[in-house]
Amino acid sequence: MKPGIHPKVNDLVITCACGAKYPNKSTKKEISVEICSNCHPFFTGKQKLIDTAGRVERFRRKYNLDKKDE
C-alpha cells in the first residue's frame, strides 16, 4: 500500500431512528439510518401479509373482467 493515499478510518456509532446504536468503522464521521434489525418488521416478526387474491379480485371487478374471458 502506498502511504498517504488512503482515507482516514474513524470509529463511529451508527444511530437508528428507533434509538438503537451500533459501533462501527467508516470514513464518514456519523451515520444515521431510518430502520435497522431492531425495528424492521421482518426481523421483529410483525410482518404484514399482503392479500394478493383480494387485489386481483378488485382489479377484475374494476375492469369488469370475468375469468371466462381469459
Tell me the pTM. Answer: 0.52
CATH of the domain at 39: 4.10.80.400
For position 60, what pLDDT does the model report? 82
Q: Which residues constitute the domain of residue 61? A: 10-69
What pLDDT was estimated at residue 69?
Answer: 52
Longest dimension (CA), the chain: 72
Among residues 39, 15, 38, 40, the alpha carbon closest in space to that of 26 is found at 15
* DSSP 8-state class, residue 36: -
Name the residue with cell 430502520.
35
Residue 3 lies in a domain: no
Exposed/middle/buried for residue 22 (C-beta within 10 Å: 0-12, 13-18, 19+): middle
Report the pLDDT value the prediction gives residue 57, as an integer from 0 to 100: 81
Residue 12: pLDDT band by 50, 70, 90 thresholds?
very high
In a domain, 5, yes or no: no
Residue of higher predicted confidence among 48 and 57: 57
54 inside domain? yes
20-49: average pLDDT: 83
Number of domains in the chain: 1
